[in-house]
A and B are shown apart, each in its own frame.
Chain A
Amino acid sequence: DGGITQSPKYLFRKEGQNVTLSCEQNLNHDAMYWYRQDPGQGLRLIYYSQIVNDFQKGDIAEGYSVSREKKESFPLTVTSAQKNPTAFYLCASSRQPINTGELFFGEGSRLTVL
């Protein structure tokens, strides 16, 4: 089945450690996105990529990094510079441009910093 796969679903990290969240899509979508969701809040954009080997910062990129070496993959690294990394992370993809169709989401990865 076509869709977006995020892993791991749950992740625990010690303070000072980097962690990488995986996102893979088989929808042949050009654009991919990472959002952060905190309890009781909406989605905030971290990074997005419209094409392979290119990506742009979103509203809250500080402390995060991404890569887009393949069309189907858009991993997110939460670095030790991110001051409050505990959150629910959502990956999404879409056809281009965004207003020709919907954004498809993965099931999310919940990161907890101990």
Chain B
Amino acid sequence: GESVGLHLPTLSVQEGDNSIINCAYSNSASDYFIWYKQESGKGPQFIIDIRSNMDKRQGQRVTVLLNKTVKHLSLQIAATQPGDSAVYFCAEAGGSARQLTFGSGTQLTVLP
């Protein structure tokens, strides 16, 4: 039979507010991190990346923060818009890894 999927962590924010999506990683050797956005029924889209020699990087309306001490990554979205509603994934790579390892994702819902 069909397996039952796990429920994604969810975050609901009011339109215009800032959003913070968190991600914990486990591999101390990871030195490259990416955030992806996935809209329903589509492939993930690149948002922003950061290397381990940085602790903060800014893009358009988005900021990624990296805390290597506690192996934590966060994505901040400023002035959240309805079009930001999607599932957000973090991914990591490093050491001898030739592939990205993805987190389970967070469902962001923007309320009117």
Residues of A whose CB lies within 8 Å of any CB of B are 4, 6, 31, 33, 35, 38-45, 48, 50, 58, 84, 86, 90, 92, 96-99, 102-108, 110
Closest A residue to B47 using CB positions: A102
Contacts of A33 in B (CB 8 A): 99
Closest B residue to A45 using CB positions: B99
Residue from the set B2, B6, B45, B100 with the largest chain A CB neighbour count within 10 Å: B100
Find out whether the CB atom of A98 lies under 8 angstroms from the CB atom of B32: yes
- Sample of 14 more A-B contacts, CB < 8 Å, known A41-B104, A98-B97: A4-B43, A6-B43, A33-B99, A35-B102, A38-B3, A40-B5, A42-B89, A48-B98, A50-B98, A97-B98, A99-B31, A99-B93, A102-B34, A103-B34
> How close is B112's CB to chain A, nearest CB, in angstroms?
24
Find out whether the CB atom of B43 lies under 8 angstroms from the CB atom of A105: yes
Residues of B whose CB lies within 8 Å of any CB of A are 2-3, 5-8, 31-32, 34, 36, 41-46, 49, 51, 89, 91, 93-94, 97-105
Q: Which of B41, B46, B103 contacts A102 (CB 8 A)?
A: B46
Give Cα A31 to B97, complex, Å: 13
Contacts of A50 in B (CB 8 A): 98
Closest B residue to A113 using CB positions: B2
Contacts of B49 in A (CB 8 A): 102
Contacts of B3 in A (CB 8 A): 38, 84
Give Cα A39 to B38, complex, Å: 13
Residue from the set A6, A39, A84 with the largest chain B CB neighbour count within 10 Å: A39
Given A48-B99, A84-B3, A107-B43: A99 and B104 interface contact (C-beta under 8 Å): no
Give Cα A31 to B100, complex, Å: 12
Find out whether the CB atom of A42 lies under 8 angstroms from the CB atom of B99: no
Contacts of A31 in B (CB 8 A): 98
21 contacts between A and B (CB under 8 A): A35-B102, A39-B5, A40-B5, A40-B8, A41-B6, A41-B104, A42-B89, A42-B105, A43-B89, A43-B102, A48-B98, A50-B98, A84-B2, A90-B43, A96-B98, A98-B99, A102-B34, A102-B49, A103-B34, A108-B43, A110-B41
